[in-house]
Amino acid sequence: MLISLHAVVPRVERQHRLIEELRATAARPLTSASLAERTGVSTRTVERDIAALQDAGVPIAARRGTGGGYAIDARSELPPLTLTPGEASALVASLVAVGPRASASAQSALAKLIAALCEGGDDGRREGRGPA
């Protein structure tokens, strides 16, 4: 089954925006209505996206009742990742497909991936020292 890139990119961008909103306000939970208003989607879409992010392992907590909502631990950090060159290239292709709409975080990640790919795969070809 082929999945259209046009269908995936908006969802990924939306989910990234949710994470960024939650990180920016980590001191207090945000309701689905507040997140919907901030991201320009319905509360149902926010709830679906939050569930997908939680299923993917993003540390988003749901608190019920007055003062409740969704919160993410701003102190949470990713452990070091080891990607194969193919995995890194796939991420680069995905980020390039997003193009100029990519967030600052996505653009930073793209630059780091490209630098790592160029550094890790230098066999002399970039400067004309090796075989073509």
Percent of the chain with pLDDT over 70: 79
Quote the pLDDT of residue 5: 45
Most confidently predicted of 5-14, 20-29, 75-84, 94-103: 20-29
Say if CB 85 and CB 121 are below 8 A apart: yes
* 69-72 vs 60-63, strand pairing mode: antiparallel
Residue of 27, 89, 12, 103 lying closest to 58 (CA atoms): 12
CATH of 5-72, one of 1.10.10.10, 1.10.620.20, 3.40.630.30, 1.20.210.10: 1.10.10.10
Looking at the DSSP bridge assignments, the partners of residue 61 are 71
Quote the pLDDT of residue 12: 80
* Cα of 98 vs its chain's centroid, Å: 12
Q: pTM of the prediction?
A: 0.57
Mean pLDDT of the chain: 79
Scanning the structure block, which residue is given the tokens 């949710």? Answer: 18
Say if CB 22 and CB 71 are below 8 A apart: yes
Residue 9 — very low, low, confident or very high, per pLDDT cuts 50/70/90? low
Residue 71 phi/psi, 5° resolution?
-145, 150
C-alpha to C-alpha distance for 23 and 128, rounded to whole angstroms: 45
Residue 50 has pLDDT above 50, yes or no: yes
pLDDT tens digit sequence for 82-94: 888 888 888 888 8
